[in-house]
């Protein structure tokens, strides 16, 4: 390439265009201040529901979407009101939020950080969403939470179980209702001790991303504290579908417990592989071989079928709980969709109500007002007993369920049974716990 025809006129013209191009950004710097990003001006307010509709966690995402639609109905005073009737805070009146009718837009995270951010950005920039809710992967949750902090909207996390979401990646505009790896470990350890004894050798297979890493760290720490030995920890790529090559070495490692730090399709496949290899029929070190799945979900249990029988794990919430809030939610969800809600659906429903309630109590949609209303907020009647939204890290503290795969399921939804409800006090930790250290909440960002 050569610029042979360089003339004076050409040079001036090129210079003028280049100069205009460079000057443009400066010219456009003038911002208009409306107080905060996407302040609702009309008679409606828009919420953004960002869930995986395709990819490995699509099942969870679609169930979240059902719950979110139900929550919008209840907020607008349609349907039977669900958990709004049992919620300890009575700020919500069924006339929308602050009198504005609730509308929503949806997006597909594809369980990819990039795609999730693009779809959240579209909802914020194009549709004027004041809050983003949902998601079913910690990687995605961390990515979207960061985006919401920059954009100045509230992020109500959906299913995200990594310690990092409210640990080193915590953000002032982000809130998590779901429990985390540390809580699972704290709840599971005593149950595992009772069931399998103090002298066990554990082998970990771990999904290779933020959630897998932190959950493995938590489980290993909790089980080692009660006398177990961690033989090995093998990281598996999230995209794997066949775990045979990872299961085979377990047999020769001298381990007698296999901990599967896997979720969704990963967990279904790895558990199925493990059962096919006959691990559960083996005896090692004179003890029966056991499998532990620290994070359970109904949808996974349904996917793994009879393989989950007798396998212990933990959950945030289960539709079999018998408190008033859970019963009301299961009833209205069941009437609308003909199936019981999963625990990811529950979390997204509750998060939507909590956001609406916080706005009502704050009297404004301004994220900083909402943050203030949610910090150190104590509530009850949403299915988990008394709950605290801790202001230090925006993590909810509540009871944790320890579950076990049911031996004789009566129908396709009856796959898990509740072994124990671990009280909140047992799973609490200090905000500066080493597993959660390193991050900074920062200041709430109202945007614009």
Partner 1 sequence: MFGLEKRDTFLLGVVIVLTLFAPFILNPFPANSAMAQFNAGYPDLMQRFVIFGIFAIGFNILFGLTGYLSFGHAAFLGVGSYSAVWMFKLLSYNVVPALVLAVIMAGLFSALIGFISLRRSGIYFSILTLAFAQMSFNLAYSVLTPITNGETGLQIYTSDPQYLQSASAPAFPNLFGAAMNSSTTLFFGGWTFTFSVGYYFCAAFLILAFYLAIRIFRSPFGMMLRAVKSNQQRMNYTGLNTRPYTLAAFVISGMYAGLAGGLLAAMDPLAGAERMQWTASGEVVLMTILGGAGTLIGPVLGAGFIKYFENIFAKINDNVLHGWFAFMPDGIEDAMVAIIHPFVGKGWHLTLGLLFMLVVIFLPGGLVEGGQRLGRVFRRKDHNAGSVESDAAQQRSEAAE
Site residues for partner 1 per CB under 8 A: 1-6, 10, 13-14, 21-22, 24-26, 28-32, 42, 53-54, 58, 69, 104-108, 112-115, 117-119, 121-122, 125-126, 138-139, 142-143, 146-147, 150-151, 164, 168-169, 208-210, 235, 237-239, 438-440, 442
Q: For partner 1, give the closer residue by CB, 8 or 29.
A: 29
CB of residue 90 vs partner 1: minimum separation in angstroms? Answer: 29
Q: For partner 1, give the closer residue by CB, 212 or 341.
A: 212
Give CA angle at 104 (317, 355), nearest 5°: 50
CB of residue 143 vs partner 1: minimum separation in angstroms? Answer: 6
Distance CA 139, CA 142 (A): 5
Contact 293, 261 (CB under 8 A): no
Give CA angle at 191 (202, 382), nearest 5°: 120
Q: For partner 1, give the closer residue by CB, 82 or 107.
A: 107
Q: For partner 1, give the closer residue by CB, 44 or 194.
A: 44
CB of residue 211 vs partner 1: minimum separation in angstroms? Answer: 9
Contact 16, 131 (CB under 8 A): no
Q: For partner 1, give the closer residue by CB, 107 or 313.
A: 107
Q: Any residues with CB less than 8 A from the CB of 427 and at least 6 apart, and which?
A: 179, 182, 183, 186, 187, 397, 399, 400
CB of residue 122 vs partner 1: minimum separation in angstroms? Answer: 6
CB of residue 318 vs partner 1: minimum separation in angstroms? Answer: 28
Strands 312-315 and 377-379: unpaired
Distance CA 135, CA 141 (A): 6
Distance CA 97, CA 93 (A): 8
Q: For partner 1, give the closer residue by CB, 73 or 360.
A: 73
Give the HSE-up count for residue 220: Cα atoms under 13 Å, Cβ half-sphere: 17
Contact 334, 84 (CB under 8 A): no
Q: For partner 1, give the closer residue by CB, 12 or 226.
A: 12
The sheet carrying 396-397 orders its strands as 377-379, 387-389, 396-397
CB of residue 367 vs partner 1: minimum separation in angstroms? Answer: 16
> What residues pair up with 101 in beta bridges, in sequence order?
44
Q: For partner 1, give the closer residue by CB, 5 or 407.
A: 5
Distance CA 237, CA 31 (A): 44
Q: For partner 1, give the closer residue by CB, 69 or 375.
A: 69
CB of residue 428 vs partner 1: minimum separation in angstroms? Answer: 26
Phi, psi dihedrals of residue 120, rounded to the nearest 5°:
-65, -40
CB of residue 48 vs partner 1: minimum separation in angstroms? Answer: 10
CB of residue 330 vs partner 1: minimum separation in angstroms? Answer: 23
Tokens for 96, please give them. Answer: 């929308």
Distance CA 215, CA 152 (A): 30
- CA-closest candidate to residue 139, choices 55, 246, 47, 232: 55
Reduce the DSSP state of residue 398 to 3 states and report it.
Answer: coil
């Amino acid at each position: 390439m050569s610029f042979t025809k360089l003339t004076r006129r050409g040079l001036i013209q090129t210079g003028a265009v280049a100069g205009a191009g460079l000057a443009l950004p400066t010219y456009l710097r003038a911002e208009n201040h409306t107080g905060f990003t996407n302040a609702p001006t009309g008679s409606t307010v828009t919420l953004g529901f960002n869930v995986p509709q395709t990819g490995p966690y699509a099942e969870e995402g679609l169930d979240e979407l059902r719950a979110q639609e139900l929550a919008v109905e209840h907020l607008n005073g349609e349907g039977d009101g669900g958990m709004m009737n049992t919620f300890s805070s009575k700020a919500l009146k069924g006339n929308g939020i602050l009198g504005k009718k609730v509308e929503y837009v949806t997006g597909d995270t594809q369980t990819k950080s990039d795609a999730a951010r693009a779809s959240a950005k579209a909802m914020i920039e194009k549709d004027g969403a004041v809050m983003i809710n949902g998601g079913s992967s910690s990687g995605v949750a961390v990515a979207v939470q960061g985006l919401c902090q920059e954009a100045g909207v509230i992020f109500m996390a959906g299913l995200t179980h990594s310690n990092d979401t409210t640990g080193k990646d915590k953000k002032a505009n982000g809130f998590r209702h779901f429990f985390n790896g540390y809580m699972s470990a704290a709840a599971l350890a005593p149950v595992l001790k009772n069931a399998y004894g103090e002298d066990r050798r554990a082998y970990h297979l771990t999904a290779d991303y933020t959630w897998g890493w932190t959950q493995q760290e938590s489980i290993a720490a909790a089980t080692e504290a009660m006398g177990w030995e961690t033989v090995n920890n093998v990281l598996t790529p999230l995209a794997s579908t066949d775990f045979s090559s990872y299961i085979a070495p377990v047999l020769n490692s001298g381990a007698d417990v296999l901990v599967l730090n896997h979720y969704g399709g990963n967990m279904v496949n790895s558990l199925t592989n493990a059962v096919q290899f006959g691990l559960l029929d083996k005896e090692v070190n004179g003890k029966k071989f056991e499998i532990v799945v620290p994070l359970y979900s109904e949808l996974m249990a349904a996917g793994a079928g009879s393989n989950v029988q007798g396998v212990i794990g933990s959950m945030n919430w289960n539709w079999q709980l018998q408190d008033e809030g859970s019963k009301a939610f299961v009833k209205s969800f069941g009437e609308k969709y003909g199936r019981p809600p999963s625990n990811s659906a529950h979390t997204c429903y509750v998060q939507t109500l909590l956001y609406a309630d916080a706005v009502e109590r704050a009297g404004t949609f301004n994220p900083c007002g909402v943050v203030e209303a949610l910090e150190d907020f104590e509530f009850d009647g949403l299915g988990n007993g008394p709950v605290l939204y801790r202001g230090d890290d925006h993590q909810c503290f509540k009871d944790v369920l320890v579950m076990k795969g049911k031996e004789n399921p009566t129908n396709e939804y009856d796959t898990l049974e509740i072994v124990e409800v671990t009280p909140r006090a047992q799973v609490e930790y200090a905000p500066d716990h080493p597993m959660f250290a390193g991050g900074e909440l920062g200041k709430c960002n109202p945007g614009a």
